[in-house]
Structure 1
């Protein structure tokens, strides 16, 4: 018996800023900091990459490149993306292990 799978796109399920926050926080918790690009890419897809590029002032190709697996976005790029999404970076105390 073959298991049938379907492509999944987080952008189809992220509809509100609270959805975006939950998705990014889950990615950080489950994957760690290296999961931030994939999470932001999913959130960017929900907004539409062209629309997000206009809001950030970045070009669409640069946005795709920054959020690609090979990308290494600057803090200013991450901040511009989060700002365009109505979000911001926050620092909290690490829980004791």
Structure 2
């Protein structure tokens, strides 16, 4: 793929972890899916399209922020620390 390497520079850091920009784009795309889901469920519960769209629009901004923070926490929790020795497998 021609654009593979240039796109990797935007989405992956030199350490091989997801960049902040990639986490942000993932949070937006996931939120779109989540908001559509919320609107559909709200419509089934209330039977009113206006109410369903209102409920979906209220939660969209806060959940983008929450997902982004969640993603960054997981990225920091799962990365290997510099001074931490790598696990060695011992055969018995």
TM-score, structure 2 as length reference = 0.30
Task: Choose between structure 1 and 2: higher helix proportion.
Answer: 2
- Which of the pair has more CA radius of gyration? 2
